[in-house]
Every structure is written in C-alpha cells, then in structure tokens.
Structure 1
Amino acid sequence: MVHSVDHVTGALGDWLLASFPDVALALGSVTSAKDKPTIRVALADLYVEPSGNRLSPTVVLRLDYRIMVEADDPLVQHRYLGEIAFALAENPALAMAMPDADPVILQMERRTDEPLGLAVSTSLLRARTRTLAPPVLHAPVLHVDTMGTIEGVVESPDGLAIAGAVVELPALRLVQTTGLDGRFRFDAPGGVTRSLEVIARKQRFSKTVVAKPGQTLTLQLSLES
C-alpha cells in the first residue's frame, strides 16, 4: 500500500484514540466534545522537500502536524500533552495502524512561537512517475532552415571601433552590445528574408539603417553634437 496524506492523518488519529481512549478526537476543524477533553490533530503545513537531484527516483513530501489538547482544566490539558509526548517518544512509528505499509516515523519538534501543543513532522516518499515515449515506427526526418546573419561593426566617422554601443533589431526583439572591436552579429531565424531595421545607440546618439539577412554592415555613429 502506498502512503497518502489522509492515510497518515487517519493513522495518527487512530493511534491517539487507541492510546488515550478516555478522550475525544477532533481532526482539523471538527467541533470539540463538550463533556471530556479533546485531542485535536491539525495538518499545519505540507510541502515537497527539494532533493537537488531531478534524477532522484523518489519525491519527498514533508507533513507538519499540530497536536493540541482542549480541556476546561489547564492541568488536564498539560497532563495529556505530556503523556502524548512520552508516547510519541517511546513509539514514534505508526505501523500498527497501517500494517500493509512501511512504518511512518513521526518526529517531535519544539516551537516556542506557537500556542501550546506538539509539533510533529513526518515525510512521505513516493516514486516519480515516468512517462514512456511511444515506439518509433519510422526514422525521423528533420528539416532545418538555414539561418541568415546580420553582422557588422559600429565605428566613428574616422574609422575607430565604438565599444559599448547597443545594437537592436526591434522586429525580432534582439539586442546586443558591441565589444572592444565594435562588432555585432545577429542570427535571424530561418525563413526571414525581409529587410529589417537595425538601430545602433550610445549615450544620446543613434544611427538607423535597413538591412537584409546576409548583409555585413558598417554603422558610423558620431558621438559629437
């Protein structure tokens, strides 16, 4: 049998009732009993623990429970909480409630920033589901469109390379910054044959030209007013 969250919550409740038959049990927001103390079990949080390895065969789900005792007499409340803590410390496995599965080990934690109660955690392991690829009946045929390039250099009117100029192809949403040699290169997707606007900018100065894939450009950008 594979563990699930409701199996663990139910097993925890069954274990508490078997250990403390003279109290009532409330799961989550169920109304408490009026004539005797009530043990309330609430699932406070659950989350998948990061494994750091996507190839791991299992997924780990962390479950955080809060076990609280509701009673008119605070001494009764404290006594039951202490007895529950002792019982969990002596037998943290819920194997008796789920005989067909591996035991679930509960761990108590101390949390001083929450109301009086026991913080209990456990982890569930589940094998990752893997989708098998359909069988290949025919060898795949790939059609690759050649990519055109628009490349060039940004330079000053006297032929010096301009580094740090921003070069943009607005139609393809492509942007580059020139290096020390002032050069740039864009690979246009296959099938693009139309003319494209190329804009070079630095500071408040700009230069705009129109080019087709396959062209090599020289954009002269004057940085003086």
Structure 2
Amino acid sequence: MSRIAGQTPVFLGVPDRDSLERGVCLYLLELGPAPPSRGGARAPLQISVCYLVTAGAASPEEAHRLLGELVFAAMEETDFEVDLTPVASSVWAGLRVPPRPAFRVRVPVRRERPASVVHHVRFPLVTQTVSAEALLGCVVGPGDVPIPGALVELPALRLTTRTDDQGRFRFPRVPPVTALGHLEVRARGELLALAPEALAAEPQPLLIRLPLKEE
C-alpha cells in the first residue's frame, strides 16, 4: 500500500474527516480465521485481518485514481482477498462518516512457531545388568543335625528368613554372592557371620555349621 500511495499519508486509525480528505486510510475492520498452513506439526499459526481501504486527495479525480491503483495492487497479491461488495451503511454510521467509495481486503498474518530444541546425548550410554538368582542353604549344628527356626539375615539387603524343619533356607532373588555383603545366622543364642568371600568359596547350596554349645 505504501508503494502505491507514494508521498500520500497513510492512516491506520478510525476514518475521520481529516484522513478521508488527505490520504489513504486502512481501518482494521475485523479479525477472522485463516486456513491452516501445511507444514507438519510445527506449521505457523495463521489468522486473517480485514481492512477497510479508502483514499482521499486534493481532487476527486486524484482520489479515484489512487483508490483504483490500490485495488489493482491488492488484487496482484495472491495471498490477499479483495472484497468489492458495497460497504453496509451501518458500517459508515458506526464510523460516523458519510458513505464513500471503499473496498475491503483480507490479509493473512502468520507467526512462525519456535522449533523444538532437541538435546543430543554427547556421551555413550552405559547400561549395567545385574542378574538375580536364588541363594540356598542349610543350617546344621554338631553332628550335622539340621537346626529348624534359625534366623538367617542379609543385613546389606535388609532380607531375613528362617530355616524350615530340615534346617533349609532360601532367598529367592538376590544379586551375585560377591554383592550380598555378609550373612548372619542366629540360633539358640549363638551368632555366626560369614563374609562375602566365604560365601563365594562355598558351593551352592550353602552348608552352614553353627557352633552350638553342648547342652
């Protein structure tokens, strides 16, 4: 519009007597939806704006010529929609100006969306898999007699169980023996603690001899 208007002033406010007599007036008449742009998930946001365009000059002839040039210039723009239907008298009444030659042009307005920031991993991803297996054993006393009801603990893992009638115990899912920490066995006032090295040296199932005092 400014290229066609040249030195003629361009007004963006409500059309009044001064702007209608001295230059081009672009009055923002309404906002409306626009077809969404194609471009995937990050397509730009888009609306349409409708301007009421009027023109004035020193003479009626010059005003008519300027308005015609503005119409043709708008029609040259593929994104513009030119509406040449007469402007309703109620619009002029609302603007409090006499009706005059004018046209409406709808212009798309786009706003690009910022691209999503993707943080790339700049160091190798290391995963560790710790296998879990059962820990089995049997607690016996002098003469390899099974001790039922003995308390068996893995303090580092906060796991506790008791032996059955055959002196057997079982922890169903525990890390490898080297990661268990020490194992404690209590029965009849006696305590036996086995270090991880001792556990690893014994074949499974463990046979734990608890030194009980003779009764």
TM-score by length of 1: 0.35
Q: Which structure carries more helix by proportion?
A: 2
TM-score by length of 2: 0.37
Greater C-alpha Rg: 2
